[in-house]
């Protein structure tokens, strides 16, 4: 039987340079936090990654109001969920809405939550966030909100 194997002088790893994680991140599109493009990407990923089962077939709405934004303005993001499906992610200036829950906090606090550096429940219990709405229901829904924030953390974002 003949040996059909071949030998090469150059190892395969030297023929192809694998990108580092940082290089991969640099080639991905990044979104400016709280921009219309970021909200659109958030809605797309939330719909794709969160099944009604993961969302416990929740029907609710939440407005997150951001104070002390870098440009000095107040901003808000509205999340509407129906039977566990994210129906709406929209941006607002000011912070008035028809939401079941309104959560208010500093821009940097929300940025830390969106980067998965801080859990929303911990921020609420420590006073970094304030809640308008049923506190008992909000705390019961905290794991669902954590899932939502885990998806938001996957968006390549410029804060």
**pLDDT above 70 as % of the chain:** 81
Res 132 pLDDT > 90: yes
Among candidate residues 35, 19, 20, the one with its CA nearest the CA of residue 155: 35
Q: Where residue 27 falls among pLDDT bands split at 50, 70, 90? A: low
User: What pLDDT digit, counting tens, does each position of 72-117 carry?
Assistant: 999 999 999 999 999 999 998 765 678 999 999 999 999 999 998 9
Do the domain assignments include residue 103? Answer: yes
Q: How many domains does one find in the chain?
A: 1
**pLDDT above 90 as % of the chain:** 67
Q: Where residue 3 falls among pLDDT bands split at 50, 70, 90? A: low
CATH number at residue 60: 3.30.1050.10
Do the domain assignments include residue 98? Answer: yes
Do the domain assignments include residue 76? Answer: yes
- Contact of 128 with 105, CB cutoff 8 Å: yes
* Overall average pLDDT of the 26-31 stretch: 78
Do the domain assignments include residue 1? Answer: no
- 3-state percent breakdown (helix, strand, coil) of the chain, nearest 5: 35, 25, 40
- Contact of 79 with 86, CB cutoff 8 Å: yes
Do the domain assignments include residue 17? Answer: no
Do the domain assignments include residue 3? Answer: no
Do the domain assignments include residue 108? Answer: yes
Q: How far apart are CA 52 and CA 88, in angstroms?
A: 15
Find the domain containing 77 and state its range.
29-158
- pTM score, whole prediction: 0.78
Res 1 pLDDT > 70: no
Res 2 pLDDT > 90: no
């Amino acid at each position: 039987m003949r040996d059909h194997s071949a030998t090469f002088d150059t190892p395969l790893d030297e023929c192809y340079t694998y990108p580092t994680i940082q290089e991969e991140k640099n080639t991905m599109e990044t979104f400016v936090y709280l921009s219309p493009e970021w909200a659109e990407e958030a809605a797309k990923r939330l719909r794709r990654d969160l099944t009604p089962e993961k969302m416990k077939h929740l029907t609710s709405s939440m407005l997150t109001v951001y104070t002390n934004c870098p440009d000095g303005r107040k901003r808000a993001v509205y999340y509407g969920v129906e039977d566990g499906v994210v129906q709406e992610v929209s941006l607002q200036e000011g912070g008035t809405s028809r939401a079941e829950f309104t959560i208010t906090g500093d821009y940097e606090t929300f940025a830390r939550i969106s980067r998965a550096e801080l859990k929303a429940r911990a921020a609420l219990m420590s006073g970094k966030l304030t809640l308008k709405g049923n506190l008992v229901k909000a705390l019961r829904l905290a794991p669902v909100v954590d899932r939502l924030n885990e998806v938001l953390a996957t968006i390549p974002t410029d804060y």
